[in-house]
């Protein structure tokens, strides 16, 4: 008998949702940074164990949108939660429950969607009674399928989240090939790897104004007969001054990001890679419908 379960991972920005997706699937398929609003679209991670196929859907952090992009990010979350078997709601245990947390959890409960509440980053709390207090705060909202204190960073609670998710599996076909890990096209994985490195190296408004598009991709053989993948990517930013910062003095920042991205690409795709990066300015693209669509951020 084949079974499947669809679970969306939702919560506020920076709670650790993408980290959880990667830990569940066992491979880094979603980008992770210490900056809120890293994930911009929904990302499906697939894990097949014998007859059971888990389909985990990572989503952008739910926030009050201040631009068109933010609006599409929140829309992506709403679309991701239609037709799920269970919601994994993730919150940072060190933060107080917010209106967004309350509204979303209540919304699930009203729709009778079972909720697995994950209180993440427990490694940051020395006094465990604080975790108990946080649990009590959330428990007041209603009945959960389960409440799991976790530290995804230390892989603490991850297997339990999987076990609890499995309880909502239904008899069904597998919707993805059993060896598939994600629905993201290759080019999206590549551009996300590059964007992650740039986000990590930049600050304030700059990381949020970066978009990366792969505009050329082809395989070739080197003179010594080795396979090589040539990638050319365009990095869009919002201002000339941002462009200068992304490139860095004598190109140091761009070079650092490029080297880190190339190493990750080589290990993920298992092929020698030649990566070329270009930086262009598109003022206020986060409010430009056409550009948001071109960057693949509104096709939801």
Ligand X SMILES: Nc1nc2c(ncn2[C@@H]2O[C@H](COP(=O)(O)OP(=O)(O)OP(=O)(O)O)[C@@H](O)[C@H]2O)c(=O)[nH]1
User: Would you tell me which residues interact with ligand X (CB under 6 A)?
Assistant: 13-19, 32-34, 36-39, 60-61, 120-121, 123-124, 151-153
Tell me whether residue 63 or residue 180 sits nearer to ligand X (CB atom).
63
Tell me whether residue 151 or residue 298 sits nearer to ligand X (CB atom).
151
Tell me whether residue 9 or residue 229 sits nearer to ligand X (CB atom).
9
Q: Closest approach of Cβ 95 to ligand X, in Å?
A: 12
Tokens of 124: 């940051």
- Which residues on neighbouring strands pair with residue 278, listed in sequence order? 234
Instruction: Give kind and range of the element (H or E) at residue 31.
Output: none
Query: Helix or strand or coil: residue 65?
Result: coil
Q: Closest approach of Cβ 218 to Mg ion, in Å?
A: 30
Find tokens 């020395």 and name the residue: 126
Tell me whether residue 146 or residue 153 sits nearer to ligand X (CB atom).
153
Is 288 within 8 Å of 68 (Cβ atoms)?
Answer: yes
Residue 98 makes CB contacts below 8 A (sequence gap 6+) with: 12
Which residue's Cβ has the minimum distance to ligand X? 61
Residue 167 DSSP label:
T
Tell me whether residue 40 or residue 247 sits nearer to ligand X (CB atom).
40
Is residue 39 close enough to count as binding Mg ion by CB under 5 A?
yes
Interface residue with Mg ion among 4, 10, 18, 273 (CB under 5 A) is 18
Q: CA-to-CA distance for 86 and 108, rounded, in angstroms?
A: 9
Q: Closest approach of Cβ 179 to Mg ion, in Å?
A: 24
Query: Helix or strand or coil: residue 162?
Result: helix
> Where does this chain bind Mg ion (CB under 5 A)?
17-18, 38-39
């Amino acid at each position: 008998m084949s079974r499947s379960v669809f679970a969306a991972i939702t919560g506020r920005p920076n709670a650790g949702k993408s980290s959880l997706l990667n830990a569940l699937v066992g491979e880094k398929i979603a980008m992770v940074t210490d900056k809120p609003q890293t994930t911009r679209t929904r990302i499906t991670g697939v894990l097949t164990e014998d007859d059971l196929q888990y389909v985990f859907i990572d989503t952008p952090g739910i926030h009050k949108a201040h631009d068109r992009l933010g609006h599409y990010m929140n829309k992506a979350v709403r679309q991701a939660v239609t037709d799920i078997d269970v919601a994994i709601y993730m919150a940072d245990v060190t933060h107080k429950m917010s209106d967004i947390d309350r509204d979303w959890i209540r919304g699930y409960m009203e729709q009778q969607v079972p909720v697995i509440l994950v209180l993440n980053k427990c490694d940051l709390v020395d006094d465990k009674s604080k975790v108990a207090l946080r649990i009590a705060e959330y428990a007041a909202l209603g009945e959960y399928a389960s409440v799991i204190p976790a530290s995804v960073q230390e892989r603490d609670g991850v297997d339990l989240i999987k076990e609890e998710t499995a309880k909502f599996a239904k008899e069904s076909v597998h919707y993805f090939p059993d060896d598939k890990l994600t629905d993201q096209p290759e080019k999206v994985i590549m551009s996300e790897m590059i964007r992650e490195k740039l986000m990590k190296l930049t600050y304030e408004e700059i990381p949020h104004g970066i978009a990366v598009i792969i505009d050329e991709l082809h395989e070739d053989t080197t003179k010594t007969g080795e396979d090589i993948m040539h990638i050319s990517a365009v990095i869009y930013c919002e201002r000339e001054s941002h462009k200068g910062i992304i490139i860095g003095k004598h190109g140091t920042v761009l070079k650092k990001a490029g080297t880190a991205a190339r190493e990750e690409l080589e290990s993920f795709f298992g092929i020698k890679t030649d990566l070329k990066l270009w930086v262009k300015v598109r003022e206020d693209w986060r409010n430009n419908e056409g550009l948001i669509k071109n960057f693949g951020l509104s096709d939801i």
